[in-house]
Every structure is written in structure tokens, then in C-alpha cells.
Amino acid sequence: MKLTEKPKSQRTTLAAGRKELQEIVETCEAISERKFNPFFMDVKFGVETLRQYFPHWETFKDHCLDAHTINRLSEVVRLQNTQLKFQSSALYADPDFVKRKVERMSEKRLAEVFLQSWHPITELEQLTNSTVSDALDYWNLLTPIADRWKKRESSRGKDPGTADSETLTGLGIHGKEFGKQLTELWNELRQLYGDRKVPIDYWSFVKGATYNETVQRAYYVSFLVTYGYAKLQPEGEQLTLTPTDQPSEKAVSGAVSFPIPIPRES
């Protein structure tokens, strides 16, 4: 039980006073040894007991007991202070204090506190008659899809046309002139490859003086690769070209389309 004040009739003699101080010292020692909570000791009651008996002390031993009791009470105060600092840093709240505070709160205030501290981590959703009814109303109020498409303006681009032989020849991609261009480009690639046998950088090879020339050389190279005159190989982020010694002059079987965009700045 917590140490409480005794009736005055029991503290009228020096013997009773010495006994009370000794009990205080023993309680403080137990608290120092972590046997009791520091707040088990009523420090105010201990100080009042010392104040009451101090005028009656007559011997040196009595004064030593008084001083020793003060020292032990000081240690309890230090332990109480340490515990309060720890509890405040850990946001600790005394259960009895919280219980009394909750009991005094109104139902409205309790509900407000609950909503402020409520952080659900899961949510349950399910179909109900109400949600199904709302969904049906939504879809029934929508305009039919056929009517909605009528309101959308659609535009078509120009249909693809055809190019005759003269047009293709004029562009340099048809007839004898086209074959001559391929042969010249193949020989140029073989010459660059030379005796070093080092693959040629694709972009360095197809780059021309103008953008149109670059596009034209890239177009011819695509035929060289398709018909086995050269091999196009990716090496990391780089593309390289390697000429072949004996082209098949037929489209390579199992070939895969490999689109290469040519930026305007090239």
C-alpha cells in the first residue's frame, strides 16, 4: 500500500519519530533498487514528517538520521524526474489519468476524438441495391453510341496513290540507274571496309551533304542489306555495316524489318 500519513497520536515520542524516518529511508532504498515505482513514495509526506520531528532531535545520531532521510528523499525526487522525462519523450500517458479524462468526456467529444485519430488501413466495397440502381440510371441516361459518333467530326487523309516507272526513275530508285547506284554504293562500302576488316558505322556511311541525300543513301543501303550485299548489325547503341564478298542478289530468307528513323538534323 502507498505510504500515508499516520495519526498524530502515534508520533508524539522520539521513538515513534525515529521509527517513521527509518520506514521512509527503507522505502526510498527499495525505490532506488527498482523494487517500487518512484511515485510510490509521497515525498511531500516525507518532508512534512521531517519538519515535524526536527525540533525534537537531541543527539548527533538523530540529526544523522534526519540528514540521511533527506538524502534518500532527494534520490527519489531525482528518479521521479527521470521517469517523467522518459514518459514525456515517449508520449506516455498514465492509464488512470486517461481513464478519468475519458469518463468526464461527452459522447459527442468522444466521437470527435475517434474520427480525428481514426486511420483505417483496409476498405471493404460491395454491390448493394442502391449502387446497382445508380449505375443503371447512369447508363440509361447516356445517349446511344451511334448518336454520339454522329456528332464527332471525322476527317480522312488523302488515299495512297501509285507512281509510274517514269516517276520512280526520276527519283533515282528505278531502272538501270537504280542498279548502278546500288553497285557504286556497295563498292564504296567494300573500299572503306578494306584490309582492316573493321565494320563501318552506319550513320557515318549514309550521311550525305544534304538531308535528301542522307535519306537516299539510307534507302539504297536498305536494299544492300535485304539482298545480301551487306550485313547490318547492332553493337550496343551503335549500328554497323559489313560488306559481303558474294551477295546472293536474292532477298534474305527470314529477314526481319528494322525501321531506322532519320532525324532532320542528320
pLDDT beneath 70: ranges in the chain: 1-12, 90-91, 151-176, 248-259, 261, 264-266
Closest Cα to residue 193, out of 247, 241, 249, 246? Answer: 241
Contact by Cβ (8 Å): 219, 262: no
pLDDT reported for residue 10: 42
**pTM greater than 0.85:** no
The DSSP symbol for 10 reads G
pLDDT reported for residue 236: 74
pLDDT reported for residue 222: 87
pLDDT reported for residue 129: 87
pLDDT reported for residue 165: 59
Contact by Cβ (8 Å): 242, 230: yes
pLDDT reported for residue 171: 57
pLDDT reported for residue 1: 40
The three-class DSSP label of residue 232 is: strand
Q: How far is it, in rounded angstroms, from Cα 181 to Cα 187? A: 10
Cell numbers placing 223: 536494299
Closest Cα to residue 235, out of 213, 202, 190, 259? Answer: 202
Q: DSSP characters for 240-254?
A: EEEE-SS--SSPPTT
**Pairing state of beta strands 200-201 and 238-243?**
antiparallel
Which letter, b or e, does each residue of 166-189 get, where b requires 16 or more Cβ atoms within 10 Å of its Cβ? eeeeeeebbeeebeebbeebbeeb
Gyration radius of the chain over CA positions:
50
